[in-house]
Amino acid sequence: MTLTTSPPPVIEAPSPEAPPPPRRSRIGLRSFRGVPVVLLVAVLTAVPVVLLLINSFNVSRPGEPSHYGLDNWRKAFDDPQLTTAVWNTLRLGITRTLIATVIATALSVLIARTDMPGRRIVEVSLWFAFFIPPLSMTLGWIVLLDPSNGVLNTTLRSWFGITGHHGPFNIYSFWGIILAHISSSTVPLMTILIVPSLRRMSSGLEEAARSCGAGRFRTILFVTLPLARPAILGAALLSFIYSLKTFEIEYLLGNPIGFKVFSTQIYDWIYRDPPLYGIATALGMLIIPVMVLLAIGQRLLVRDRTFVTVGSRGFSDVPMALGPVRRWMVAGFAYLYVLLIIGLPAGALIVGSFMRRFGFFHIPHPFTTSNWTNLIHDNLFATSAMNSLKIGIGATVLGVVIYFAIAYVIVRSKLRGRGTIDVLAWLPVALPGILLGLGLLWLYLGTPLRTVLYGSVTGLILAIVINHLATGTQQMKAGIVQISPEHDQAARTCGARPLRSLWHVMLPLIGPSIAAVAVLTFDTAIRDISSVVLLTSGNSRPLSVLLLEYSSTSELEEAAALGVIMAAVTVIVGLVATALAGGRLQRNGARARRRPGRSQSTQPTGPAAAS
């Protein structure tokens, strides 16, 4: 799961001016200055994929002398598990995306376009859910919906006198996986992507529909939603892409019932004895072309931003008044959603971390603090925390430098090939973490880099930097685009050389954006599981992988405590990033707003309103 504050593709400002027409006189050494950057991006994004492709024909194990043949492909296609895994992946992804699109669109419209009371609280709750690691949220759902001991299940059974020791709900199921995803990733992600583009819409477009005779509902149906269609479709497609990439929720909830998606199937084949590297790689190669097509399609869809740019003159942002009764009714639904789907599992996770047996409320003295003391005194915890810290800091430093360099070249340089860089830098979004890990595994094991990278913290840092490349670069681009090149040009005319202008003028101006990307990279780094799980060893195991191990080896009590710690860290770090990016956005928003008084228009404090 990748993190985004300023949603990467949607917030992306219109791409900079078209490349200058080729001039013969410019062809020379200067034309090749873009080559190093193209090479860097190509190495980061293409090498793992190319290694996967080559090694899908390699019938020996990583690190052994290569023998090439079609055996892997043949075996993979002969294995009925492959078809099942692909089918499961698809039906999970489609179902989730459809449900989440409806919920996220409704929530986004309420948050961004109406005067629903507490809309800010609903929005922050969704950010909150977005930053909690999916695994932590899933542990909360297990406390609630475990078929035999889940609190909701036992409560419902006793209320309605249902006999038996199971049900009525089961989190270890197709719908359980969907619920866990909707709660922790799909709906929050989509809302976060859709809300900003809805906010950019001038309320004049809706007000015109109202005076033309359309009521609130028809205005939203015929004007608001069609106008937001590119943003909604873009968010849905991105969320579908992410759906196909996920690993840990399916691993935790699907494995016990033998329900496999392609990422857990690959993991399964690799951790089998003997490991089936070749077949796993072949399965991965099946997925990648589909993902690349989806990623490019998503990009093209979002790039068509003509809808939003119209009406930027005379922009106004008056929220639609829902009426005194209706605004509280819709607020009730929104609060209910937040409470049930976000608050309940988060609370259950915290309660679960204090239980002697995870989810068992009916045993005598169910509560204890020993999970926490055990965890804190566990050596594994200490070394993992240290590893996570190293990985987080390392990935942040390396990531920010690389993302900034790439983004700066794409947005500001006149280099040939920057279009290629732009596309290449977006492609990792199509690369599931588990496949990236697998590709890097071939690299680490099959080359002299083995001693440095395999099983080491450095190797994990590299994996995370690549995994976050697409979003990190998009966010950097958004930050750079906001700063007018004239600041830079002014510095240049004042006598600053390009690098000095970058250092003294551009960097201070985009400081907040860089800080936000840095914080988010850190956040991703410490919660990333899928890209590092195949690369980690006992010495380099980070907290996220430890959490996965605890969760899947029925040490759920300590897993819950660790889940709370991870959630606390990621939420705090994530909200810091949002504040950094949001503060900047709000300042811009205040400037863009024509009449500052308008924002208060829903709550008049004048004499009439007071009386």
Q: Where are the beta strands (DSSP E) in 47-151?
A: none
250 or 317: CB nearest other proteins:
317
CA–CA distance, 472 with 468 (Å, rounded to integer): 6
Q: Whole-angstrom Cα distance, residue 573 to residue 578?
A: 9
**CA angle centred on 6, ends 4 and 9, rounded to 5°:** 80
Cβ closest to other proteins, residue 25 vs residue 600? 600
Quick check: 231 and 197 in contact, CB under 8 A?
yes
203 or 264, CB closer to other proteins?
203
Task: CB nearer to other proteins: give 219 or 578.
Answer: 219
Q: Smallest distance, Å, CB 204 to other proteins? A: 4
Pick between residue 151 and residue 228 the one whose CB is nearest to other proteins.
228
Taking the complex as a whole, the smallest distance from the CB of residue 236 to other proteins amounts, in Å, to 17
Q: Residue 475 half-sphere exposure, CB side, CA atoms within 13 Å?
A: 33
Whole-angstrom distance, CA of residue 267 vs CA of residue 281: 11
User: CB 306 → other proteins: shortest distance, Å?
Assistant: 5
- CA pair distance 159, 147, nearest whole angstrom: 16
Residues facing residue 27 across a β-bridge: none
- As given in the structure block, the two tokens for residue 584 are 């900047």
**Strand, helix or coil at 367?**
strand
Pick from 267, 268, 263: which is nearest to 244 by CA? 263
* Residue 139 · residue 352 · CB < 8 Å: yes
Shortest distance in whole angstroms from residue 382 CB to other proteins = 54
Q: What is the rounded distance in angstroms from the CA atom of residue 332 to the CA atom of residue 318?
A: 22
CB of 218 to other proteins, least distance (A): 7
Q: Which is nearer to other proteins, 18 or 608 (by Cβ)?
A: 608
Tokens representing 141? 């759902």
Q: Which is nearer to other proteins, 307 or 408 (CB)?
A: 307
Helical segments of 225-276, H only: 225-245, 248-254, 262-270
Nearer to other proteins, 308 or 463 (CB): 308
Beta strands in 319-367 (DSSP E): none
Minimum distance of other proteins from residue 299's CB (angstroms): 21
Nearer to other proteins, 80 or 597 (CB): 597
Query: In the bound complex, what is the minimum distance in angstroms from residue 304's beta carbon to other proteins?
Result: 11
Which helix (H) or strand (E) element contains residue 194? helix 187-199
Residues of the chain by 3-state class (helix, strand, coil), percent to 5: 75, 0, 25
Phi, psi of 72 (to 5 degrees): -60, -50
Q: Which candidate, 137, 101, 107, places its Cα nearest to that of 121?
A: 107
Distance separating alpha carbons of residues 162 and 530, to the nearest angstrom? 39
In the bound state with other proteins, the residue whose beta carbon lies nearer, of 229 and 587, is: 229
What is the number of helices (H) and of strands (E) in the chain? 32, 0
Give least dist CB 329 to other proteins, A.
Answer: 17
Q: Identify which of residues 362 and 591 has a Cβ nearer to other proteins in the complex.
A: 591
Residue 277: name the closest of 55, 50, 437, 51 by CA.
55
Lookup: tokens for 120: 């800010």
Between CA 298 and CA 10 the distance in angstroms is 10
Closest approach of other proteins to the CB of residue 210, in Å: 4
The residue type at 43: V
Q: In this complex, which beta carbon is closest to other proteins, that of residue 300 or of residue 340?
A: 300
Smallest gap from Cβ 467 to other proteins, in A, equals 36
Closer residue to other proteins (CB): 487 or 598: 598
Least separation, in Å, of the C-beta of 302 and other proteins? 16
Beta bridge partners of 320: 114
* Contacts for 576 with CB less than 8 Å, ≥ 6 apart: 519
Rounded to the nearest whole angstrom, what is the least distance from the CB of residue 457 to other proteins in the complex? 50
- CB of residue 313 vs other proteins: minimum separation in angstroms? 5
| Among candidate residues 588, 336, 334, the one with its CA nearest the CA of residue 481 | 588
The distance of closest approach from Cβ of residue 202 to other proteins in the complex, given in angstroms and rounded to an integer, is: 6
What is the rounded CA–CA span in Å between residue 307 and residue 309? Answer: 6
> Which residues of the shown chain bind other proteins in the complex (CB under 8 A)?
202, 204-205, 207-215, 218, 222-223, 226-227, 229, 306-307, 310-315, 318, 321, 595, 597-598, 600-601, 604-609
Shorter beta-carbon distance to other proteins: residue 207 or 378:
207
